[in-house]
Structure 1
Amino acid sequence: MSSIVYLNGEFIAAEEARISPNDRGFLFADGVYEVAKYYHGKAFRFQDHLDRLKRSLKEICIAYDTEKLEAVFMELIRKNDMLDKHAGIYLQISRGAAKRSHHFPEDIEPTVYAYAFDLPSAVEKLENGIKVITRDDIRWQRCDIKSVSLLPNTMLYDEAHKNGAGECILIRDGKVAEATHSSVLCVKNGIVVTRPLSNLILPGITRKVIMELCAAHNIPVEERLFTQEELHEMDEVFIAGTGSEICPVVQIEDKLIADGKPGKTTRLLQKLFFELT
């Protein structure tokens, strides 16, 4: 059975989807994206994803009415028989097709593409934790925009994959930024530590949920810069994201974090998170 996708106002079979070779998403990576998760047919933090999408569109000056998207996403879940699964929706909005020029062309329609896919929890990784590597952050200065220009991220994640690791933590000017497709949080002496929001990291939805859970359950938090050396000395490290959920990090390069097992604060946050989902 062919999967059903959404393209420019229509639900069509995936193999029938076509875009112009002059689409600026193809030529310039001139577009943004979002990934939302559905737990058994129910969207998790949909409004947060929508708000972040609106901000990304505004930052790169693409005008698009996002209000219809909730219904579009739900219809994709239904049409692809995913109401009883853990599923993801990928959405990409590019500026549209136009004659190739380095300035933003006027009066063109954005290209809007979305599809549903299986997004189960990575149970083994959530239970046992993962190894990560660290590399210099080679991305641009506007990491707060969820841009489709992900070549640096994919290059670094591919390096992690080839090293038998589950993620790559990015280091900018000696300080921990985030990972290639997830936020980085740590625990030291019972305090959750994470980098403050800025143009250098994406405002992660799961990160936001964790901050709310910490506030609600009296778990102290410090939003501050911390170094690569501090990262190795943390009591606990974990990554967070729509696909990653809350995943413990038990090894960085060849060095174990503490005793090499997920820590108690990570376990508590996992428990609280899955109670929400």
Structure 2
Amino acid sequence: MSVYPIMLSQTKFTHRDNLNYPFEERALQFGDGVYEVVRIYNGTYYLINEHIDRLFRSAEAVKIKLPFTKEELSNLLNNLLLKNSVSNDAKLYLQVSRGSAPRNHIFPNNIEANVYGYIEDQARNVAGLQDGVKTITERDIRWEYCFVKSLNLLPNVLAKQTANEQGAYDAILHKDGIVTECSSANVYMIKDGTVYTYPTTKRILHGCVRMRIEKFVQDLTIPLNEDGFSVEDIALADEMFLTSSTSEVLPIVTVDDTQIGNGQPGPITRKLQNAYEEDANIVTKKIEQTN
């Protein structure tokens, strides 16, 4: 697959080897921007409208004016799929910064946002989905506006690196002993048939897959408790899993040195995995039929 990123603010396609990134760019100097990662299955976006909606919410929260409407962005992203001849499993990375201007903490006047996106191959994590993964726990040291999908990811990067150094897939973050989410995913615990997760506040990212989980549990009549759970509760969990656009519904079988349940992905996690896969297939078919 050829890789043709797009400079959306200029509405043109440029091969990545020919990219010239601005020197005084606020994304580089301040992390002053927002982003999205969108899953692609068989050459078709999954949950694309949800991701576009969240991008607009994030941009509004940090006062970035986007240079397109939702419909215009959707059309550009569909053209990007065609330009790259995408027909396999992949992912889109889409980033918006406030723009380029002499370095100053104060917002520049009359500045246009810098926007770019690119697509790269992303195979499904079949082994992890089947067998489950190990995680660790880490203190949540992030800022209070985690609902904004911003470029300020250093605390997430540090937590993810610590997990990697310990042979784990991700780090489960907690504030004052209460689990919030993972470094790059939402996280859930299952006890006595009920799914527990942190409430939808500004302290966590409102995941697009998380929103689908809310629908899946309702369709499957599985109780959902959004009052959260503690690090101490993990030792009593029957099942655990995490969700994100690239991780899907990923079972957690070990946290630190604690085995979750019997050390195998549990029945409710399996039901939610199946619901996710069915939903992704249904969505892609519907989109293909309307294009």
Q: TM-score range by the shorter chain?
A: over 0.9
* Contact 1:57/1:63 (<8 A) preserved: yes
Distance in 2 separating the partners of 1:136 and 1:102: 29
Question: Deviation at 1:2?
Answer: 5.0
Name 1:228's counterpart in structure 2.
Answer: 231
Structure 1 segment 54-133 matched on structure 2, within 5 A: 54-64=56-66, 65-67=68-70, 68-83=72-87, 85-133=88-136
Amino acid at match of 1:60: V
Give structure 2 stretches of 5+ with no counterpart: 281-291
Normalized per residue, which structure has more helix?
Answer: 2
Question: Over the residues paired in the alignment, what is the CA RMSD in angstroms?
Answer: 1.1
Question: Deviation at 1:40?
Answer: 1.2
* Contact 1:54/1:66 (<8 A) preserved: no
Give structure 1 stretches of 5+ with no counterpart: none
Question: Deviation at 1:74?
Answer: 1.9
State the number of aligned residues.
276
1:170 aligns with 2:141: no
Name 2:12's counterpart in structure 1.
Answer: 10
Distance in 2 separating the partners of 1:203 and 1:266: 20
Name 1:200's counterpart in structure 2.
Answer: 203
Name 1:158's counterpart in structure 2.
Answer: 161
1:146 aligns with 2:149: yes
Amino acid at match of 1:18: N
Distance in 2 separating the partners of 1:52 and 1:176: 23
Distance in 2 separating the partners of 1:116 and 1:74: 11
Distance in 1 separating the partners of 2:179 and 2:20: 40
Deviations 1:32-55 (A, max 9, x none): 000111211222111111111110
Distance in 2 separating the partners of 1:161 and 1:57: 31
* Contact 2:3/2:120 (<8 A) preserved: no
* Contact 1:2/1:14 (<8 A) preserved: no
Bigger mean CA offset, 27-36 vs 100-109: 100-109
Deviations 1:62-81 (A, max 9, x none): 11124322122222222222
User: Taking structure 2 as the reference length, what is the TM-score of the superposition?
Assistant: 0.92
Distance in 1 separating the partners of 2:181 and 2:101: 34
Distance in 2 separating the partners of 1:115 and 1:71: 15
